[in-house]
Amino acid sequence: MQIFETALAEVLLIEPDVFGDPRGFFQEVWRDENYIAVGIEGPFVQDNLSRSGKGVLRGLHFQEPGAQGKLVQVIAGAVFDVAVDIRQGSDTFGLWAGEILSAENHRQLWIPPGFAHGFCVVSETADFIYKCTAPYRPTDEHAIRFDDPDIAIDWPVREPLLSDRDRSAPRLQDAPILPTYVPS
């Protein structure tokens, strides 16, 4: 397993070991000791799977309180995956990191608590799995506008398919609640 920093030092790109032969491949998706050694700890309390079509953009989502860390991976198709630091007081507040995750590259992205998360599908469909460090709570769910000009994410889709909630999400500067940066 190799770990790479992204544009945001706390958001990690993980390239798991993948063992392949003519029959297919094998990959450990999670092994506690390996991830703890690089600072990704659970406990993980919920696993999710979503399927989306080409051009679908989901995000930018976060929970507060009840912030979730997310370990994300694509198991079919490809997405452009984004994390945005929304922790008030952080030196990287409002900055983003984005990576292509696909079934072919097997990459995972670690999005720590306190970051908003979103992705857009760049293949015909994509199956997206993610482990969460806190359970989903509808009362804690919030969103930031995907095209907030202050964040300026360079999405690879010009006319994304959005939910009503994502279409009407506030800009970061107008968010009614945000997490606070706590130095480690």
Catalytic residues: 61, 130
- CA distances (Å), origin 103, targets 7, 74, 77, 83: 22, 5, 6, 19
Written as one letter, the residue type at 33 is E
The answer to whether residues 52 and 137 touch, using CB atoms and an 8 Å cutoff, is no
Locate all alpha helices (DSSP H) within the chain, ordered by sequence.
Answer: 32-37, 164-167
d(CA 184, CA 163): 36
